[in-house]
Structure 1
Amino acid sequence: MKITLLGTGCPQVSSARRGPANLLDWQGKQYLIDCGSGVTQRLVEAGTAGRAIEALLLTHLHSDHLVDLYQLIVSSWHQGRDRPQRIYGPVGTKRFADGLMALWKPELDARIAHEKRPSTKALELDVTELQPGDVLREGDLTITAVGVRHQPVTNAFGFIFQDAHHRVGFSGDTAYCPELIEASRGADALVHECFIHREIMIRPGIRSEEGTRNVASYHTLSSEVGKVAREAQVKCLILNHFVPVEFDRAALLAEVRADFAGSLVVGEDLMRFDCAARSLTHNGAVIGF
């Protein structure tokens, strides 16, 4: 299994950190976890494209995790995809996807008529709505949907990917979550969100103290995420989906390291972790674990 961090940001606009999205490569098959802003560009930069995606798995229906869904669909069609888009997500995913395609139907009909492409299969959506505990089987690969704690969002998942040799987890958005800890126990890698509360600046007219507390309540704080990894006994903790997008990396590393002695990565867009090789690559550098 290979993990690529496509977008490690949040709703804040950043040229360095695109919206939340991760790619898992299993035996050459590509699985996309979330579909944040800039995901189609990051896929190309990572050496693949939307046309190659085996399935898209949505952790929940917050806009920063799916805002580029239509872009993914249309760009995959332009790239020559010859099969429907498979989408898995929580209850409400089908209504959202159907509404999205209905909204863009006049524009899409005009494109189809004018561009004369050989197939429109890529514009068809095969949507499956999941419940916590549901397991998908893709050959020898199993994908388990883990209900996480992102209240007031009632339908939010983390995902565990496992085959005979490796297991990796993706937290999605969640507060401290015993269910996710148990599901990811002993994993080769846990890709986990990180809310860096000490870096959040209260700005009148933009961000209030009350609003910041509310947002922090359904995310995992930087002071907690190391404890999560330690309790789950994961081999490697990969931090991503940072709030805010700009922060002191050395300070974050020290904070999390105080609770977790295992391999620890402060994620950046386009980092790639190879479970079998126990290696991390980024910007030409290769680091062995």
Structure 2
Amino acid sequence: MPHTLTLLGTKGGPAIRPGGPNPTSMLLTLCGRRMVIDCGLGVSRGLVETGMSLKELDLVFITHLHSDHVLELGPLLHTAWTTGLDHPVTVYGPPGTRAVWTGFLASLAYDIETRIADEGRPDLASLVTVTEYGPGVILQEGDLQVEALRVDHPPVTECFALKFSGAGKSVVFSADTAPFPPLADFARHADILVHEAMLPEGLDSIISRTGNGSRLREHLVASHSFAADAARIAQQAGVAVLVLNHLIPADDPAFTEEHWHAAVRPIFGGDSVVGRDGRVITL
């Protein structure tokens, strides 16, 4: 099984628009495992479009509990179950993830109980284990290791960058974060750093379409990173490839891939990739 990263949803924020990209979700294939990172709206369809059968699902990681990263966690697990999932699945998430899952089970109790009785399905709740994590190594399984680093995403305190290492490769996901210098050490010499990114000149566009005016701008600037910030972290870390993801704005035709590359090129000397739903990157 080749080592690949597939971007399933690449826009920042929970809103979706006609013809535009989906919120955050990714599929990492490493050490013979398929691992889902974040479950924004559209993750189930995105996984199916890669050719993966949802009944093969077994490892899911959530970086934080903003809706554009966790909204489709329950529906993904339920849809995998209705597809034929019959083996254990482990979900790694920050504190509060277990409550998200149990709340989903409660909301779909009628459907789940009916399908167990009427279709002979296994008990969905017993198939899923939620492991809530903090900083440090959160999974060690053979050659595969996953580590977490708390990043700066106010007002969310339980938000974590994740590093996946194995088979001589390493991939780091920044999660949502303001510029965070410790991330450079965390991502040192990674093959791929997937880092969130905004364009300064694109903020007016997203604010005018979404509303909330100055309050939204204040949040975006305090809690997120511009593309140039991501480039600085990547350059300091000495990573091979920088992937810009969780793009703001992601669906404004006034901004093309060249705008993103222009923001990164003067700072980062490695290869850069601009996130697009369905884009596959080979390690």
**1:284 aligned residue:** none
Contact 1:81–1:122, Cα closer than 8 Å, also in 2: no
TM-fit CA distance, 1:110: 2.2
Deviations 1:37-56 (CA, angstroms, capped at 9, x unpaired): 11110101111133222311
The one of 29, 35, 38 equivalent to 2:39 is 35
Deviations 1:159-190 (CA, angstroms, capped at 9, x unpaired): 10112411110111111112221111110111
Structure 1 residue identity aligned to 2:241: C
Q: Which runs of 5+ in 1 are unaligned?
A: 276-289
**2:25 aligned residue:** 21
Contact 1:7–1:17, Cα closer than 8 Å, also in 2: yes
Distance 1:204 1:31, change over 3 A: closer
Deviations 1:105-162 (CA, angstroms, capped at 9, x unpaired): 1232123223333x33576320111011133112111000111111210100111011
Structure 2 residue identity aligned to 1:274: T
Distance 1:91 1:111, change over 3 A: same
- Measured in 1, the distance between the counterparts of 2:47 and 2:167 equals 27
Contact 1:84–1:121, Cα closer than 8 Å, also in 2: no
Structure 2 residue identity aligned to 1:213: E
The one of 237, 244, 255 equivalent to 1:239 is 244
Question: TM-score, normalization: structure 1?
Answer: 0.89
How many equivalent pairs are there? Answer: 274
What pairs with 1:71-220 in structure 2 (closer than 5 Å)?
A: 71-117=75-121, 119-121=122-124, 124-201=127-204, 202-203=207-208, 206-220=211-225
Contact 2:227–2:244, Cα closer than 8 Å, also in 1: no
**1:9 aligned residue:** 11
Contact 1:147–1:179, Cα closer than 8 Å, also in 2: no
- Measured in 2, the distance between the counterparts of 1:13 and 1:35 equals 15
- Measured in 1, the distance between the counterparts of 2:54 and 2:199 equals 31
TM-fit CA distance, 1:91: 1.0
> Secondary structure of 1:113's match?
helix
> Secondary structure of 2:178's match?
coil
Distance 1:53 1:205, change over 3 A: closer
- Measured in 1, the distance between the counterparts of 2:209 and 2:71 equals 27
Q: Which runs of 5+ in 2 are unaligned?
A: none
TM-fit CA distance, 1:271: 1.0
The one of 52, 55, 59 equivalent to 1:55 is 59
**1:269 aligned residue:** 277
> Secondary structure of 2:194's match?
strand
> Secondary structure of 1:34's match?
strand
Question: TM-score, normalization: structure 2?
Answer: 0.91
**1:282 aligned residue:** none
Structure 2 residue identity aligned to 1:75: T
Structure 2 residue identity aligned to 1:272: V
Contact 1:172–1:192, Cα closer than 8 Å, also in 2: yes
Which one has the bigger helix percentage?
Answer: 2
Distance 1:249 1:205, change over 3 A: closer
TM-fit CA distance, 1:64: 0.7
TM-fit CA distance, 1:98: 1.2
> Secondary structure of 2:227's match?
coil
> For structure 1, which segment, 197-206 or 67-76, has the greater mean C-alpha deviation from structure 2 after superposition?
197-206
Question: Alignment RMSD, CA only?
Answer: 1.8
